[in-house]
C-alpha cells in the first residue's frame, strides 16, 4: 500500500472477492426455486406422409406434419438469477421399434428483457417430424413444452411445463401433393 | 509489479495505509450489501453489480491518491550518524524509496 499501483492492486483484488461472494449469495437465494409454469399447446391438422428421408438411411420413413398453436406467459420465471430461457417443444410417442421416441419440433430462446408473453397461431413446426420407421399412423403423440433455465450463477435446469396435449395421427398416408405446408426450418 | 517513479510523492505512512485499507474494505462491503438488498428487491442482479462498482469508484477516489490525512504519522527516523565516526554500526536505516533522499548518508544497502 505504499504506492499507487499497489493500492490499486489491493483494491481490485478485494473488489473481485466481494463480487464472488455476492454471486454466491445470488446462487443461494434461488437454490430452491422450481420454475414451474403452465402453457397451452394445440396441435392442428396432423397428417402423416411416407417419404424418403435423405438425411438418414435413404429408406422410406414416416413424416408427421402438423401446425402448432402456443400460448404462454413466462414473466414469473425471470427472477434475478435467470439470464435466458431455452424453450423446446417435444413430441413423445411409443412405437414397436422403440419404447420411447422424443422429437423436438420447435424451440426458441427468450432472453431477459424480451417479450415473455408468447402467442403463436398455427405456425409450422421448426424441425421435421421424422419417425425412425413407419409407425406414426394412428399413433398417440404427446406434445409438451420444456424450458432450460440459463442462470447467472447456478445449475442448468430442465423443467417440463404443465399443460401438455395429446393427439392421434390419422391412419392413412397423405399421397397427394396438395397437403399442408412444409416445416419452416431455421428461422 | 513495476515500480514507476512518479514526479510527486505517492507514499503513505503505515498508519495511513492501515486507515486506507480499512476504509476501502468497509466502503466496498457496505455498497455490496446495499446492492445485494436492492438487487433482491428489484430482482435485477445488474443493480448489485452497479452498486459495487460505484463503491469501488468512491473508494478509489478516497484511498488511491495519497491524501495528506494519510501522512499524519510519519515514521520517525533516527538522526543520521556522521560517516567518519562509525563506519560499521549502521544506525541509519536506509530504507526503500519511501524516505526522502537527504537522509541517505551511509552507502545504500539495496539498489532500488
pLDDT digits (tens, 9 = 90+) for B32-67: 999 999 999 999 999 999 999 999 999 999 998 888
Residue B85: what pLDDT? 59
Q: Judge: A14–B24 Cβ closer than 8 Å, yes or no.
A: yes
Burial class (CB in 10 A: 0-12, 13-18, 19+), B111: exposed
Residue B16: what pLDDT? 87
Name the interface residues of A facing B (CB cutoff 8 Å): 1-11, 14-15, 18-19, 21-22, 25-26, 29, 78-81, 152
- Asked if residue B110 has pLDDT above 50, the reply is no
Mean pLDDT calculated for residue range A137-145: 93
Q: Which of B34, B1, B14, B9 is CA-nearest to residue A12? A: B1
Residue A183: what pLDDT? 67
pLDDT digits (tens, 9 = 90+) for A158-184: 999 998 999 999 988 888 665 555 666
Residue B71 makes CB contacts below 8 A (sequence gap 6+) with: B11, B12, B13, B16
- Asked if residue A122 has pLDDT above 60, the reply is yes
Residue B34: closest C-alpha in chain A: A22
- Asked if residue B98 has pLDDT above 70, the reply is no
Residues of B in contact with A2 (CB under 8 A): 10-12, 17, 98
- What ipTM does this complex have? 0.75
Where does the pLDDT of residue A132 fall: very low under 50, low under 70, confident under 90, or very high at 90 and above? confident
Residue B31: what pLDDT? 95
Pairing of strands A101-111, A140-151: unpaired
Give dist(CA A68, CA A77) in Å, integer: 23
pLDDT digits (tens, 9 = 90+) for A26-61: 999 999 998 999 999 999 999 999 988 888 777 888
pLDDT digits (tens, 9 = 90+) for A64-110: 999 999 999 999 999 899 999 999 999 999 999 999 999 999 999 99
A73-108 in b/e burial notation, b at 16+ Cβ within 10 A?
ebeebbbbbbeebebbbbbebebeeeeebebebbbb
- Asked if residue A18 has pLDDT above 60, the reply is yes
Residue A81: closest C-alpha in chain B: B45
Give dist(CA B17, CA A4) in Å, integer: 12
Domain A34-182 architecture: Sandwich (2.60)
Does the beta carbon of B36 lie under 8 angstroms from any beta carbon of chain A?
Answer: yes
Residues of B in contact with A9 (CB under 8 A): 1
Pairing of strands A165-168, A117-124: unpaired
Residue A181: what pLDDT? 57
Q: Three-state DSSP class for A94?
A: coil
Q: Three-state DSSP class for A10?
A: helix
Weakest mean pLDDT among B17-31, B35-49, B87-101 = B87-101
Q: Which of A184, A146, A186, A182 is CA-nearest to residue A164? A: A146
C-alpha cell at A163: 399443460
Domain spans of chain A?
1-32, 34-182
Amino acid at each position: 500500500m505504499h504506492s499507487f499501483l499497489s493500492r490499486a492492486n489491493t483494491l481490485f483484488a478485494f473488489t473481485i472477492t466481494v463480487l464472488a461472494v455476492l454471486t454466491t449469495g445470488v446462487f443461494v437465494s434461488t437454490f430452491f426455486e422450481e420454475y414451474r409454469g403452465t402453457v397451452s399447446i394445440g396441435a392442428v391438422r396432423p397428417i402423416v406422409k411416407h417419404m424418403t428421408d435423405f438425411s438418414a438411411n435413404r429408406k422410406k420413413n414416416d413424416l408427421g406434419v402438423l401446425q402448432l398453436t402456443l400460448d404462454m406467459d413466462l414473466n414469473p420465471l425471470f427472477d434475478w438469477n435467470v439470464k435466458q430461457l431455452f424453450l423446446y417443444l417435444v413430441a413423445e410417442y411409443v412405437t414397436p421399434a422403440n419404447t420411447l421416441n422424443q422429437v423436438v419440433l420447435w424451440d426458441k430462446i427468450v432472453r431477459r428483457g424480451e417479450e415473455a408473453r408468447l402467442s403463436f397461431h398455427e405456425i409450422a413446426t421448426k424441425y421435421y417430424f421424422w419417425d425412425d420407421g413407419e409407425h406414426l399412423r394412428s399413433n398417440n403423440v404427446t406434445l409438451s413444452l420444456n424450458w432450460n433455465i440459463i442462470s447467472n450463477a447456478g445449475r442448468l435446469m430442465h423443467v417440463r411445463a404443465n399443460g401438455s396435449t395429446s393427439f392421434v395421427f390419422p391412419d392413412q398416408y397423405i399421397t397427394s401433393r396438395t397437403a399442408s405446408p412444409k416445416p419452416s426450418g431455421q428461422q | 509489479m513495476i515500480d514507476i517513479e512518479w514526479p510527486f510523492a505517492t507514499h503513505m505512512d503505515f498508519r495511513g495505509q492501515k486507515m486506507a485499507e480499512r476504509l476501502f474494505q468497509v466502503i466496498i462491503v457496505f455498497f455490496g450489501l446495499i446492492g445485494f438488498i436492492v438487487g433482491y428487491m428489484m430482482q435485477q442482479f445488474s443493480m448489485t453489480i452497479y452498486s459495487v462498482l460505484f463503491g469501488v469508484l468512491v473508494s478509489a477516489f478516497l484511498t488511491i491518491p495519497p491524501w495528506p490525512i494519510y501522512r499524519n504519522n510519519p515514521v520517525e527516523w533516527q538522526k543520521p550518524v556522521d560517516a567518519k565516526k562509525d563506519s560499521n554500526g549502521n544506525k541509519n536505516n536506509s530504507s526503500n524509496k519511501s524516505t526522502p533522499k537527504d537522509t541517505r548518508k551511509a552507502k545504500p544497502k539495496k539498489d532500488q
